[in-house]
Amino acid sequence: MDRLAKYAEMLDSAQRKATATPQITPVDTAFTVEEAYQVQKLSVDRRLSRGERRIGVKMGLTSRAKMLQVGVDEVAWGRLTDAMLVEEGSALSRARYVHPRVEPEVAFLMKAPLVGKVTAAAALAAVEAIAPAMEIIDSRYENFKFALEDVIADNTSSSGLVIGSWHDPRIDFSNLGVILEIDGEVVQVGSTAAILGHPIRSLVAAARLVAEAGEQINAGDIVMAGGITAAPNLAPGQTVRTTVQNLGAVMFQVEA
């Protein structure tokens, strides 16, 4: 087994067992972004071989708040599977994760394939619907600390997604107010404009980045546009709710 396959096995095991693992970059200083994406694919392929099904992609580090929180300055992407879906309004188990956090987002449902360099108009034309959403992020690295290469290898910390009701994408979603509440208390306030200035730019970037990996966004895929605010920690007993102006709300609970 070569070193990249070993990293993929390490991260896959950390995800399955919900145990923290050391970062890669402090030991392997030659580890590159390109290699990190190879590790990500190898790790997710292990999950697909166990029966999980690819359902789309997620964009990460698309807001200034997220870049500052994790100390990086580049957009990244990861893969979504059906095992990551959390039913809206249901409870998730805190025990399934290492140190989970939540971030408010919007999600796109695709009605047509999207691949390579595309315009914002072409990207929007491929969208079936848009919804309020939340992503559960859970870096498998110790102390939630990582370099860009580490987080990419770890599927950009993606661990779960909660999707609200779908809406007509012709609504103006460029600058919608967003409120994240935990137990009824407002903990984060933001705007969809925090996603690269306009969420559609995230979809444009997704089409390009996924194509660079020899893949494409397919009809029926979900694309998570990226975090709008900083991501607070999750703890058992919490009720988490995100409201997006004109799109409604999405919520879940946390159990032990």
The residue assigned the tokens 């392997």 is 28
61 band by pLDDT with thresholds 50, 70 and 90: confident
Residue range 17-32: average pLDDT? 96
| Whole-number Å distance between alpha carbons of 77 and 139 | 14
pLDDT at 214: 95
Three-state secondary structure call for residue 175: coil
Are the CB atoms for 102 and 135 separated by under 8 Å? yes
pLDDT digits (tens, 9 = 90+) for 156-175: 999 999 999 999 999 999 99
Model pTM? 0.95
Are the CB atoms for 132 and 166 separated by under 8 Å? no
Are the CB atoms for 76 and 34 separated by under 8 Å? no
Q: Over the chain, what is the mean pLDDT?
A: 95
Starting at the earlier edge strand, list the strands of the sheet with 158-163: 76-81, 54-60, 222-224, 101-110, 127-137, 158-163
> In the chain, pLDDT over 90 holds for what percent of residues?
91
Q: Is the pLDDT of residue 204 over 80?
A: yes
pLDDT digits (tens, 9 = 90+) for 95-140: 999 999 999 999 999 999 999 999 999 999 999 999 999 999 999 9
| Whole-number Å distance between alpha carbons of 17 and 50 | 15
Q: Is the pLDDT of residue 73 over 90?
A: no
pLDDT at 75: 87
Domains of the chain (ranges, CATH numbers): 3-255 (3.90.850.10)
Phi and psi at residue 71, to the nearest 5°: 75, 35
197 band by pLDDT with thresholds 50, 70 and 90: very high
Q: Is the pLDDT of residue 226 over 70?
A: yes
| Whole-number Å distance between alpha carbons of 125 and 225 | 16
pLDDT at 68: 73
pLDDT at 114: 97
pLDDT at 1: 66
The residue assigned the tokens 């200034």 is 64
The tokens describing 105, both together, are 């987002």
Q: Is the pLDDT of residue 42 over 80?
A: yes
Helix or strand holding residue 67 (H, E): helix 64-70
Are the CB atoms for 170 and 201 separated by under 8 Å? no
Per the document, the length of the chain is 256
pLDDT at 64: 72
Are the CB atoms for 14 and 155 separated by under 8 Å? no
Q: Is the pLDDT of residue 65 over 80?
A: no
